[in-house]
Structure 1
Amino acid sequence: MSPDLALGTYRCRDIPQAAVHAVACGAAWVDTAPNYHHGRAQTELQPVLAGNRDVRVSTKVGFFTPDTATAASDAGVLTPAEAASGHCLTHRYVAWQSRRNATELGRTPDIVFVHNPERAARPHDAIVSAFTALEVESRAGRIGSYGVATWTGLEGVFSVADLLDIAARCGGPGHHLAAVQLPVSLVMLKPVAQALEGTGPLAEATAADLDTFISAPLHGGALPAMVTDELAQLIAPGTTPAEAALRVTASTPGVNHVILGSGRAQRWEVAQHVLTLPPLPDKTLHEVIDVLGA
């Protein structure tokens, strides 16, 4: 089954416009966070989410803006040291931020991701604290489920097996851990190489029936300029560098949702087309890895 499209709001300059284009091209998810777009991303999504109830939304807990730090400090859920750090995963803060997210979005989040727990001094302890709070929120119906969104954490700080073990300890066999989010691209090829061998986070997540959300498939928009015509033709003859790069991510075993952050309708139409194409043969993916290295 081919992966589907999701809108990511991390670098969007015009979030409402990007959301309209994404939904028009069949995006099934919108991914956001309380610190994106100077803290305004969630409220800017409200009108589109209200008008498209079938589109699901994921958000995050962890990072916060100075304004949020002030509000959380006033509410007594951040200490001065925590407020100064810009990132917190304590039980009391996670519960408070999760409920604030729902208010800003105007709806119950389908997934709340624990955002870059590798940033914490003791990542495993931070994950335990966050999962404990999010289990309470899930069971109360204030969120649908939760997951972990990471940039480098799954490269040795923790594994999918660790996350499942912590979730089982925090929530028992009926825990609400449902997804992982990680980067997969021509720049971040290690998960591709691992998936082809049936190992690594994508294979582990698939085996555990966890959803996988792929961030930065075009490396923040930088990849098209980095891909040579020769490499693009190796990947898929007749395609542009952007199409070729996106095709590698979409063809990786275990990828469920590909997150894009563009505000241009044409880019969404191209992405929609690419994701309807059959996956590249494993042989082609191995050739790309041999050329670029994992």
Structure 2
Amino acid sequence: MRKWMLAAAVAVLATLGQPAEAQQKYRFAVVPKAMNNPFFDLARDGCLKRAKELGNIECIYRGPVEHEPATQAQLIQDFITQKVDGLAISVADVASATRSIKAAVDAGIPVITFDADAPGSARSAYIGTNNKEFGLALGKQLLALRPEGGKYAMVSGGPGAKNLAERVDGVREALKGSKWVEVSGSPTFCNDDVALAVQQMADLKSATPDLAAIVPIGGWPMFAPEGFKAFVNKNKKEIDAGKFTLVVADTLKMQLELLRDGYSNALTGQRPFEMGEKSMDALLALKKKEKIPEIIYTGLDTVTKETVGQYLK
């Protein structure tokens, strides 16, 4: 009898001091817009790191290979069928995702959005960039570099993504009242296709030979570094003479290296790694019935040729 009581006491003591959630394992799915976009690789890495630190979390990272809202919706439905414990979604199309999020919440699965939001949906929170501020920062960078103005164009991703529409609005607001004029056909939409983004830049420059600036509001063209270099080299004389300027969104390592090597004029970057980390914390808190802020901004980094070295460290 004493041996039985001792064993029971040891078992009880072994659980003391451990957080309650340590007794429960959770499977959280992270659904990016497109898995061929290296931006989301960093969100995945942040998710996996935080899941490992927490110990009782499995981070499942799966999305469409390319930017396909219908495929994203199907994947979310698959996760609902699998009864995952939580979903973090970068919304490719607001209307489609709003329906998918409702289906998940109706099934008892907490949902947050990251990177791209669907604010009218049943999601509990958004984690990511203040995208209007992001666009304003890009526009202000261009204005600081070229206050004399000129003709400019933007390259965007998917036309149904609210975060990208907010960035476009931010750039326009920053340049309103200046000598910068947006050309017809801007923004173009590459649907996260990096090769297409480079081609669209070339098409914009060909259509408007005196185009003074291009502002990709996502890093897509730089994610195809060889194609991006070829485009820049073709226009290097104008860039070096200060007649053609490239202000690009995001600050992935390859982009920082391109900026260092003279292939762009400035970058404004998000923090996707933190988005992945905070998504795990938020979903865990929701599973524990804890309240979380509806909006969690992860901040921006503004990088120039003068400061790029410290970011590469």
Q: Please, what TM-score do these two structures have when normalized by structure 2?
A: 0.30
Q: Please, what TM-score do these two structures have when normalized by structure 1?
A: 0.31
Of structures 1 and 2, the larger Rg is shown by 2
Answer 1 or 2: which has greater strand percent.
Answer: 2
